[in-house]
Structure 1
């Protein structure tokens, strides 16, 4: 895009590239970042929503779409980055994956075409610099050194690996074998596989991060930017199957994975697990972050001809026309298109541009199941046949049968992983809105099934790979010293007030004997963390509860009225990782609460207004939607007539005595205002009454501006609802002076002895004396 500055931020792992990109994106009014993994996208989304709330941030992956009504920022997997969005800033992470045989063409396409309207960043390994310079000669190159030292520790036995180690293997069987050995000798390990669902991976990672286990065994999926508290990385193998062949790891791949050791300024080390050894020259290259430059990127034509199946296949094979770009030849979607294109029944239906484009969309359904290619193509053929039938969407009974047979949490680890892979297909399908009759319902159903399977899988992993007696598995105390870990059931028994206590007391002996990892809290925590809008509520005192009535925490004083902090409820039966995740969700909830409350000022505020109008909007926001006219007199006096019209069109009343937003005086808004004031002022803060109450006595300890913040600015001895102030003022003007106290009392809903003083204050008069009745 013309005018968009392009920057390549390059360097080894742990240079803060992704962190810099996120921070820089938030300096812009809008932005989008593409990340290589669904789990990493969720991690960045969680980080941003902890600061801004979820109302301003969208999450888009192949299987998960959380898109609010008006997002400013988009966090996506690279493949799922929406095209055609006008955002100021665009970033793509791990751009060196443009050389990946299967996924590379997507990263190359983003490198060539993804642009922000103002600025674009590509982050990745320093080995990408020659290709960046060739393809984007005007790009600015920024390089950063690693924030911590990475040292080679040689080869060692599993029993001698230090705590906080990650052991990396390249097959499920190798992962299982290492994890079994760790369970027998060191108390157990968390397990991270690329085939795990994000929910299961989150639970396993949280177990490691909180210190419930001191080791994590993972495939090379760990190498793509996941932030873990890892001090040492040990390679259990140096060969992997890449989808086509078993080959040696490349030096850059070893460096990417080894670089997970040591985060921020903490040094890390890497080595191998005997009998595997790493050549000294290769180890030195990893320590110094010196790797061969990338000289070829994988490319595929993005300008496709969909006039026919033959034309589409031909356009996919078009040559890139540059020696540094290599045609993508092994993509599953193109292979599926070629196979389905040989089916006469499919070809008969794929007539015309629209039908061919639909067939291409169907062929791009990922093969999550990794079964025989023929099985995948057969499923795609069925889906395309349904979509080109008389109904033009998938038959609900047909889809329901296939989804229902997956919904079974019984079975071993491999069985559950296979079912999770299968349900991901239908989750993907349900997010293609026009393919199913009720997308939201199907998304909810498939997500619920994946959650059940994920919870069951986490239980099986804990049962198999974490010592059941609890004797060697230690949880780290806040100071770092290990302490004996209580099981969840034991903690529940200790807390007699806990609603699960009675049930836990009955189950505890069995759970301890069987080594059962209770999944009650795990399911509840995931429900809280992934809860949709409206499932978490706050009352006028700032107390935050979940939809099941369980208290989560409360709002407490933050840096300002508009930036409250949160205090988590005790929830002592939960582990440290679970509590941290709920805290993050509550912080995001607090930001959303402010965003929703101020929406009439932020989202609907007119654009192109003058400085005086902008200043007035700022005062309104700081007062949660209400400001006394005398406090904003300078801005009101300078308002241009057209700005007054724009403010009125946006629902903002510039009255004679009060400036306010009627939409922010309704029940839910008043509750939110009270909650924010309660968090900021504590017991000193006033509480908004029911909307039917038009005035209330002044809280002695509460400052006048706090009453205004709940929508009831102070006039005389009472706080009066903002809209009532203007109605009373207009009535006083119409009568030419203060009416009798009884009449005023009826308007103001207060005792007659206070009504005259309140009325005089609203009218801008001195308080009335006994002798007469003041006039305007």
Structure 2
């Protein structure tokens, strides 16, 4: 082993690296190769089997094991690859740059450092890993191979302009099938390759493309890991993917790995993005730097690889966890982030279950159970529960064949929707993995065969279900009806707002707005909208008339709009001289036929007029402000009250200009002249304040219940004034101040003394604290003189505090500027300004 040759063949795609490794392996008496994907392992297995024969080649993946008794060549996924290379003369490791992957990198690093062939070891991968190979494997003979063909960027292309023999790469199952369906409609169809498909289904799909039955293939980014196809152009449906933690943009090296599938052998290839996928959304574009890097195969080298202790001690769970979390000694290695197997181990070790695991054998076996991949992708909690249940069965020995057969049989069900089938495939992959373990399941070979068969059936059923789904009966109906007589399109509207045509969903109507069925494809949306434009005016008109006659119970005013079940029917535009706003119909209402539109708007106006009844006092102010008999001073005060939405402080109201003879005129329309505020008591109630806020007229904070007293603050709700560290509603503040003035008047009528006793029971009963009540009274000119406490030795009730009223003369004088001489030009100007 120490004298075996170690060769690293690094470089871009389409350099024949994998082909070279296969030739070298077949030239040895035995060989073992590790691949990043089971699809790639299966492809190479088929190629080597064609050369060496079925009896001499084994396929070992997490979910599948084909091991002839005398097999001398092994094609494996890296995780399933024997750490010692099974003693093979040749060992190959493909895509070694994946040692920098956060989730699986530590496994690639371990194979890179430790797995060797007796005679030859070959490392294949990107040139970005070259500095790290030199550092970690100094004996390696590094060579590069030129790309057989050139790779050229040609920019975005719509589906209608994609060249034949193109591969479209997407990064989600939904996007894969969306693109495949569009190609089926416009370009005759496409093959589909995804990790969720069984190898047999994947091979059939590839044959469709390779044989020329279809000119396009749609695949996930798995196509970048060595699947060799006769592709001339690679189109990226997106440039971002979810990497297990977040959505991120692909790195240039990852882009090149995928784009490099174009131009196999001596044929040049092109790459670009797929344009025109979604109207209104930007087409993904490569930057100039990314294009240069891909075309010239120049990428930033990797700076570190991930590592985790490959041979931990199994003395106890604590020792095992400590070893798995130990940092590497080499500076170019980084401790791998916590993967799902370690997260599961740590989670279960803290539970009572972990306390029962003793001895190296049990600890090792428990770690193997925790290493079960999370095929279902449900997160650490759910996966840990599955592993815990599995361990309950494994701790006593083997899983019984009847038990495993029952679990597999539960999943042998081809019914259900797409999500259900995908969930079953993930579950059967877990059982396929379990059945591969030689020390876990009795009758292992039979159970593994059953699991593989069910997985293949589920994959085929999933593929068939997706195909059925995208042969869209709804679209066929619409295309036929729109072409013949669209006015007779049999569209129906259900009570829940669902719109359908001959039982096929078109979308929904929320309020009076039509929303296309979210599952509709991009090209279907135009037909659905065209059909809606023809048939929906009649349906929406009937709905509008029904709404107008219904009493509009679900109608509400919010943020200056009329809303029905959350949908806008009209905007409310404020007008001078009235509280009743102008209705500005929403586009959906404007699009209604004239008759239903007129009826609906009339009903909305009638509903709005009734709803605005609590604002009648404000409406009276508007009318009075336009009355010539009111006089300029009264009109000025009314305009101030209207601007204040029903109240204003005396200081800002300009009351000093109002003749006393005009006050009865204002009191008749509900204006109260308080000690501190001028207001309409009816407008500081909850209903009018809520209405003004909903109309968007009063933008100050709202206290919906208009509680008597609330905590104070810098920005008080509408209708309140400060009182110390509390705030009180202005009408109640006036009630307190009026009671104080009445008490003062009664006291002075008896003995003409300025000082009097004031009972604070009223403000305290309203909710004001005593100190805050004193501060409120102080603003109105009331001053308190605290009573002296009783002298020592005296008994009896405490003396009451004494009050007096001393309004600030200086402040009143500042607030009342001198009136210009009557009859002068300045007096006339003052009247105009007021």
- C-alpha distance after superposition, 1:697-731 (max 9, x if no partner): xxxxxxxxxxxxxxxxxxxxxxxxxxxxxxxxxxx
Indicate the residue corresponding to 1:257 in structure 2. Answer: 258
After TM superposition, the structure 1 = structure 2 runs for residues 603-622 of structure 1, keeping only pairs within 5 Å, are none
Which whole-Å CA distance do the structure 2 matches of 1:222 and 1:357 have between them?
36
Quote the offset at 1:203 in angstroms.
2.4
1:369 aligns with 2:369: no
Quote the offset at 1:415 in angstroms.
2.6
Which whole-Å CA distance do the structure 1 matches of 2:54 and 2:457 have between them?
25
- SS of the residue corresponding to residue 382 of structure 1 reads helix
Indicate the residue corresponding to 2:364 in structure 1. Answer: 357
Quote the offset at 1:26 in angstroms.
1.4
Quote the offset at 1:89 in angstroms.
1.1
Which whole-Å CA distance do the structure 2 matches of 1:447 and 1:352 have between them?
34
- SS of the residue corresponding to residue 80 of structure 1 reads coil
After TM superposition, the structure 1 = structure 2 runs for residues 150-299 of structure 1, keeping only pairs within 5 Å, are 150-274=151-275, 275-299=283-307
Greater shift after overlay, 78-87 or 139-148? 78-87
Indicate the residue corresponding to 2:702 in structure 1. Answer: none
Indicate the residue corresponding to 1:80 in structure 2. Answer: 80
CA distance 1:439–1:364, change in 2 (3 Å): same
CA distance 1:467–1:189, change in 2 (3 Å): farther
- SS of the residue corresponding to residue 433 of structure 1 reads coil
Indicate the residue corresponding to 2:10 in structure 1. Answer: 10
CA distance 1:407–1:212, change in 2 (3 Å): same
1:386 aligns with 2:393: yes
Quote the offset at 1:396 in angstroms.
4.1
Quote the offset at 1:51 in angstroms.
1.5
- SS of the residue corresponding to residue 147 of structure 1 reads coil
Quote the offset at 1:77 in angstroms.
1.1
Contact 2:305 2:333 in 1 (8 A): yes
Which whole-Å CA distance do the structure 2 matches of 1:330 and 1:172 have between them?
27
Indicate the residue corresponding to 2:71 in structure 1. Answer: 71
CA distance 1:92–1:466, change in 2 (3 Å): farther
- SS of the residue corresponding to residue 434 of structure 1 reads coil
Which whole-Å CA distance do the structure 2 matches of 1:369 and 1:203 have between them?
25
Q: Which has the larger radius of gyration?
A: 2
- SS of the residue corresponding to residue 441 of structure 1 reads helix
Quote the offset at 1:230 in angstroms.
1.3
TM-score scaled by length of structure 2? 0.54
Which whole-Å CA distance do the structure 1 matches of 2:166 and 2:220 have between them?
14
- SS of the residue corresponding to residue 206 of structure 2 reads helix
CA distance 1:95–1:467, change in 2 (3 Å): farther
After TM superposition, the structure 1 = structure 2 runs for residues 78-157 of structure 1, keeping only pairs within 5 Å, are 78-84=78-84, 85-157=86-158
CA distance 1:467–1:51, change in 2 (3 Å): farther
Which whole-Å CA distance do the structure 2 matches of 1:126 and 1:328 have between them?
22
After TM superposition, the structure 1 = structure 2 runs for residues 641-652 of structure 1, keeping only pairs within 5 Å, are none
Indicate the residue corresponding to 2:31 in structure 1. Answer: 31
Which whole-Å CA distance do the structure 2 matches of 1:461 and 1:211 have between them?
22
After TM superposition, the structure 1 = structure 2 runs for residues 717-732 of structure 1, keeping only pairs within 5 Å, are none
Quote the offset at 1:466 in angstroms.
7.3
Which whole-Å CA distance do the structure 2 matches of 1:83 and 1:62 have between them?
15
Indicate the residue corresponding to 2:456 in structure 1. Answer: 451
The runs of 5 or more residues in structure 1 that have no matched partner are: 472-776
Contact 1:168 1:220 in 2 (8 A): yes
Contact 1:38 1:77 in 2 (8 A): yes
The runs of 5 or more residues in structure 2 that have no matched partner are: 276-282, 477-834
Indicate the residue corresponding to 1:337 in structure 2. Answer: 345
Contact 2:343 2:380 in 1 (8 A): no
Contact 2:39 2:195 in 1 (8 A): no
Quote the offset at 1:247 in angstroms.
0.8
- C-alpha distance after superposition, 1:662-712 (max 9, x if no partner): xxxxxxxxxxxxxxxxxxxxxxxxxxxxxxxxxxxxxxxxxxxxxxxxxxx
Which whole-Å CA distance do the structure 2 matches of 1:227 and 1:418 have between them?
29
After TM superposition, the structure 1 = structure 2 runs for residues 593-604 of structure 1, keeping only pairs within 5 Å, are none
After TM superposition, the structure 1 = structure 2 runs for residues 497-512 of structure 1, keeping only pairs within 5 Å, are none
Which whole-Å CA distance do the structure 1 matches of 2:74 and 2:201 have between them?
24
Quote the offset at 1:129 in angstroms.
0.9
- SS of the residue corresponding to residue 13 of structure 2 reads coil
Indicate the residue corresponding to 1:20 in structure 2. Answer: 20
Number of equivalenced pairs: 467
- C-alpha distance after superposition, 1:155-185 (max 9, x if no partner): 1222211111111111222223222222222
Contact 1:183 1:466 in 2 (8 A): no
1:423 aligns with 2:428: yes
After TM superposition, the structure 1 = structure 2 runs for residues 685-700 of structure 1, keeping only pairs within 5 Å, are none
1:322 aligns with 2:327: no
Which whole-Å CA distance do the structure 1 matches of 2:356 and 2:124 have between them?
43
Indicate the residue corresponding to 2:446 in structure 1. Answer: 441
Indicate the residue corresponding to 1:570 in structure 2. Answer: none
TM-score scaled by length of structure 1? 0.58
Moved over 6 A (4+): none
Indicate the residue corresponding to 1:555 in structure 2. Answer: none
Quote the offset at 1:123 in angstroms.
0.5
- Structure with higher RCO (Cα < 8 A, 6+ apart): 1
Which whole-Å CA distance do the structure 1 matches of 2:471 and 2:202 have between them?
15
Which whole-Å CA distance do the structure 1 matches of 2:401 and 2:75 have between them?
31
Which of 285, 295, 307 is the matching residue for 2:315?
Answer: 307
Contact 2:370 2:387 in 1 (8 A): yes
- SS of the residue corresponding to residue 315 of structure 2 reads coil
Quote the offset at 1:307 in angstroms.
0.6
Which of 403, 409, 418 is the matching residue for 1:413?
Answer: 418
Contact 1:99 1:296 in 2 (8 A): yes
Quote the offset at 1:306 in angstroms.
0.8
CA distance 1:423–1:411, change in 2 (3 Å): same
Which whole-Å CA distance do the structure 2 matches of 1:44 and 1:192 have between them?
16
Quote the offset at 1:464 in angstroms.
4.3
Quote the offset at 1:19 in angstroms.
0.5
